[in-house]
């Protein structure tokens, strides 16, 4: 409070926004590229410049997040990929900090509490998710969708229902599932309270701006408008969602049912079970999420008389019901994997992974703020008074968790670490091999490679095409089936044992098969581990990786002739 009194209102607001942004930066500032950035930003760069990694199977597949590509991809015309990623991150995080500040003030209009709630948000989301959903991180479509979702939740708390549908439609424009499930959860909230409010003669939003007598959220009697009154917002939100919805619908447009069935099974059970199939979630992920949901239940019950918090609680409950539906589909649908996968592919657990930590962060800080003032009312509604000792303990825990999480990342940011998208051994050697490939004096710009199955950054570092990788799954049904066929063709061993399904590396594949694959997929080079050596023309090698040309064969006596070690640097943590 002393800080806020020494600053004019506009300067205080900017300082508070900057503090929230700092929390997000410390939490999300992993080295570029982050896990999904080569995937999303690679598509965005290729969208604006088709000559960047031309004729690549993944990059040439259907574009789903067109609005995101239009919003971010133009930066690639001015900046190299790494600078583009950092610029995109700062833009998204800045918008997200602004949206979070607005949402937090809608719940608790008191200075600086939004900073604490932001720290709790990223901490609880990272440490208590169930299905791997994250909010603050690398640049991808859902980051901008979460900005619009936060603004929509602000409107929900304030009871401005037409604005709710408009903003959730905007969220769906960037990412159809983020915004679409938000619409469903908000519709549940409206249905839950509409019956008790239809008879009230209060214009929408009329009480939303009245000052709360206790310093809490704006006074609000909880009334909701009729469906007819919400038609403008519903129509505008629906129109805004179309640029995100139509490309998603076209992914299976005019595709035969068997291909769609195969694509769904591949997508859910082979590529993304950690996000989509609850029976594949680690048990401790489920337990910790359930504990957080229990904490939310306690908070929601205490705040049930506050109109805005009732709406927020109904939204969270709607997200949990979506997760319950997803769990039921997985549990009772195992006998028909095609149909079950066709339903599970819609990310039933995404919204609850965000909504529960969000509600705990906001509700918890608001309850704590009222308790510190020895208040028993919030927004004119009785919520009960907490014992001073309980308030001090809860406040110490919340502050300690926030400081531990953000402070830990602040220390980590001073240390050199490997980008999380780089999961292959020997980061320094991998970068050196990619740097050599990126030089047109060594490898033509239109060359195509067979690369390690689990690599995620080859195109990012080299701007060269590759046949297929595990990470780069397309989105349309035809391409998903073709992608899986390529994976099995290039890396498959033919074994049905899931632990023996893939070759350890391409150096374990028979040279004749590699040549046939090169002819089939028009690939001229192989990038793999330097050992075991391949009886092919080796054009580059360092201590870990080697590049072979798929045409030409060395004499047997030269097969062990490893070129001089080019690896004159090491990556972070590499011996």
Q: What is the DSSP string of 191-224?
A: HHHHTTTTT----TTTTTTSPPTTSSSPP-----
Question: Which among 286, 273, 279, 362 is positioned nearest to 320, based on CA atoms?
Answer: 286
538 contacts 546 by C-beta, under 8 angstroms:
yes
Give the pLDDT of residue 403.
96
Mean pLDDT computed over 164-175: 98
Mean pLDDT computed over 46-52: 96
For the cut 50, the answer to whether the pLDDT of residue 210 exceeds it is: no
Give the pLDDT of residue 564.
52
Q: Which residues contact 4 (CB under 8 A, 6 or more apart)?
A: 12, 111, 112
For the cut 70, the answer to whether the pLDDT of residue 553 exceeds it is: no
Mean pLDDT computed over 364-375: 81
| Parallel, antiparallel or unpaired: strands 525-529 and 465-466 | unpaired
For the cut 70, the answer to whether the pLDDT of residue 572 exceeds it is: no
Instruction: Determine the distance from the C-alpha atom of residue 101 to the mean position of all C-alpha atoms in its chain, rounded to a whole number.
Output: 21
Residue 271 token pair? 């590529």
Mean pLDDT computed over 12-19: 96
Question: Which among 283, 368, 362 is positioned nearest to 316, based on CA atoms?
Answer: 362
Cα dihedral 505, 507, 512, 515, rounded to 10, equals 80
- If phi over 0 gives left and psi between -120 and 50 gives alpha, with beta otherwise, what is residue 445? alpha
Give the pLDDT of residue 391.
80
Q: Residue 52 and residue 95: Cα distance in Å, rounded?
A: 29
Q: Residue 418 and residue 31: Cα distance in Å, rounded?
A: 7
Q: Residue 515 and residue 350: Cα distance in Å, rounded?
A: 43
Q: Residue 70 and residue 171: Cα distance in Å, rounded?
A: 15
Give the pLDDT of residue 1.
34
Task: Give percent above pLDDT 90 in the chain.
Answer: 80
Least confident of 380-389, 425-434, 475-484: 380-389
H-type helices in 388-476, by residue range? 388-412, 427-438, 458-462
For the cut 90, the answer to whether the pLDDT of residue 567 exceeds it is: no
Q: How far is CA 91 from CA 23, 145, 440, 481, in A?
A: 15, 13, 33, 36
Q: Residue 464 and residue 167: Cα distance in Å, rounded?
A: 39
Strand arrangement of the beta sheet that strand 448-450 belongs to: 465-466, 448-450, 525-529, 545-549, 537-541
Residue 441 token pair? 């004096």
DSSP 492: B
The packing angle between helices 81-107 and 350-372, to 10°, is: 50
Least confident of 41-50, 142-151, 201-210, 282-291: 201-210
Banded model confidence at residue 352, pLDDT cuts 50, 70, 90 = very high
Residue 205 token pair? 């939003």
Question: Which among 168, 186, 190 is positioned nearest to 177, based on CA atoms?
Answer: 168
For the cut 70, the answer to whether the pLDDT of residue 226 exceeds it is: yes
Terminal-to-terminal C-alpha distance of the chain: 50
For the cut 60, the answer to whether the pLDDT of residue 4 exceeds it is: no
For the cut 50, the answer to whether the pLDDT of residue 366 exceeds it is: yes
Q: Residue 89 and residue 28: Cα distance in Å, rounded?
A: 9
Q: Which residue has the tokens 């962060």?
A: 361
Give the pLDDT of residue 5.
43
Give the pLDDT of residue 220.
55
For the cut 60, the answer to whether the pLDDT of residue 488 exceeds it is: yes
How many Cα neighbours within 13 Å face the side chain of 147? 20
For the cut 90, the answer to whether the pLDDT of residue 229 exceeds it is: yes
Q: Residue 252 and residue 80: Cα distance in Å, rounded?
A: 34
Mean pLDDT of the chain: 90
H-type helices in 282-417, by residue range? 283-302, 307-332, 337-344, 350-372, 388-412
For the cut 50, the answer to whether the pLDDT of residue 239 exceeds it is: yes
Banded model confidence at residue 223, pLDDT cuts 50, 70, 90 = confident
Give the pLDDT of residue 383.
62
Q: Residue 46 and residue 54: Cα distance in Å, rounded?
A: 8
How many Cα neighbours within 13 Å face the side chain of 349? 30
For the cut 80, the answer to whether the pLDDT of residue 381 exceeds it is: no
Q: Which helix (H) or strand (E) holds 18?
A: helix 9-28
Q: What is the pTM of this model?
A: 0.91
Q: Which residue has the tokens 């700062």?
A: 90
DSSP 559: T
Mean pLDDT computed over 505-526: 96
More confident residue, 212 or 363: 363
For the cut 80, the answer to whether the pLDDT of residue 263 exceeds it is: yes
For the cut 50, the answer to whether the pLDDT of residue 208 exceeds it is: no
Give the pLDDT of residue 181.
98
More confident residue, 385 or 336: 336
Residue 103 token pair? 């949402």
Question: Which among 204, 112, 111 is positioned nearest to 161, based on CA atoms?
Answer: 204
340 contacts 273 by C-beta, under 8 angstroms:
no
pLDDT digit string (tens) for 109-124?
A: 999 999 999 999 999 9
**Burial (CB count <10 Å: 0-12, 13-18, 19+), residue 557:** exposed
Q: Which residues contact 98 (CB under 8 A, 6 or more apart)?
A: 17, 147
Give the pLDDT of residue 197.
53
Task: Give percent above pLDDT 70 in the chain.
Answer: 87
Banded model confidence at residue 371, pLDDT cuts 50, 70, 90 = confident
Q: Which helix (H) or strand (E) holds 527?
A: strand 525-529
Q: Which helix (H) or strand (E) holds 382?
A: strand 381-382
Q: How far is CA 314 from CA 204, 208, 238, 252, 333, in A?
A: 19, 18, 22, 33, 28
351 contacts 182 by C-beta, under 8 angstroms:
yes
Q: Which residues contact 298 (CB under 8 A, 6 or more apart)?
A: none
Q: Residue 346 and residue 343: Cα distance in Å, rounded?
A: 6
Give the pLDDT of residue 554.
55
């Amino acid at each position: 409070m002393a800080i806020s009194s020494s600053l004019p209102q506009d300067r205080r607001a900017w300082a508070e926004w900057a503090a929230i942004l700092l929390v997000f930066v410390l939490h999300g500032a992993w080295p570029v590229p982050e896990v999904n950035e080569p995937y999303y930003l690679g598509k965005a760069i290729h969208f604006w410049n088709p000559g960047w990694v031309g004729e690549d199977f993944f990059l040439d597949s259907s574009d789903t997040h067109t609005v995101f590509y239009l919003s971010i991809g133009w930066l690639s015309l001015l900046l190299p990929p790494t600078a583009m990623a950092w610029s995109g991150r700062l833009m998204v995080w800045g918008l997200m900090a602004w949206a979070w500040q607005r949402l937090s003030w809608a719940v608790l209009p008191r200075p600086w509490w939004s900073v604490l709630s932001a720290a709790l948000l990223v901490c609880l989301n990272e440490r208590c998710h169930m299905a791997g959903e994250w909010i603050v991180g690398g640049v991808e479509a859902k980051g901008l969708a979460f900005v619009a979702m936060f603004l929509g939740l602000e409107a929900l708390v304030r009871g401005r229902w037409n604005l709710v549908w408009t903003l959730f439609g905007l969220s769906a424009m960037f990412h159809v599932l983020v915004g679409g499930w938000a619409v469903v959860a908000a519709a549940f909230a409206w249905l839950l309270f509409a019956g008790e409010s239809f008879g009230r003669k209060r214009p929408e939003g009329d009480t939303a701006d009245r000052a709360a007598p206790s310093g809490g959220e704006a006074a609000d009697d909880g009334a909701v408008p009729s469906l007819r009154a919400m038609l403008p917002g519903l129509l505008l939100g629906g129109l805004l969602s179309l640029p995100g919805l139509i490309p998603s619908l076209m992914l299976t447009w005019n595709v035969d049912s068997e291909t769609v069935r195969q694509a769904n099974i591949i997508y859910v059970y082979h590529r993304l079970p950690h996000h989509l199939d609850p029976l594949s979630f680690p048990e401790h992920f489920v337990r910790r999420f359930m504990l957080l949901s229990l904490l939310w239940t306690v908070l929601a019950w205490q705040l049930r008389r506050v109109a805005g918090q009732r709406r927020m609680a109904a939204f969270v409950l709607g997200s949990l019901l979506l997760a319950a539906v997803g769990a039921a589909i997985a549990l009772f649908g195992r006998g028909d994997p095609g149909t079950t996968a066709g339903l599970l592919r819609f990310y039933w657990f995404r919204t609850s992974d965000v909504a529960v930590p969000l509600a705990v962060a906001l509700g918890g800080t608001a309850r704590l703020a009222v308790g510190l003032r020895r208040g028993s009312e919030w927004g004119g509604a009785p919520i009960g008074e907490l014992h001073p000792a309980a308030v001090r303990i809860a406040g110490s825990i919340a502050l300690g968790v926030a400081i531990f999480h953000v402070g830990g990342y602040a220390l980590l940011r001073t240390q050199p670490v490997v980008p999380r998208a780089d999961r292959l051994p020997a980061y320094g050697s991998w970068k050196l091999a990619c740097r050599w490939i990126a030089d047109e004096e060594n490898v033509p710009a239109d060359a195509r490679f067979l690369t390690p199955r689990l690599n995620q950054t080859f195109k990012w570092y080299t701007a060269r095409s590759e046949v297929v990788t595990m990470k780069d799954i397309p989105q349309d049904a035809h391409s998903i089936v073709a992608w899986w066929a390529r994976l099995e063709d290039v890396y498959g061993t033919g074994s049905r044992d899931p632990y023996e399904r893939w070759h350890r590396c391409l150096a374990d594949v028979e040279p004749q098969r590699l040549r046939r694959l090169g002819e089939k997929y028009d690939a001229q080079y192989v990038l793999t581990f330097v050992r075991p050596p391949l009886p092919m023309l080796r054009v580059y090698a360092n201590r870990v990786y080697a590049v072979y040309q798929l045409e030409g064969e060395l004499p047997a006596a030269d097969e062990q002739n490893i070129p001089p070690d080019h690896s004159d640097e090491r990556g972070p943590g590499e011996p």
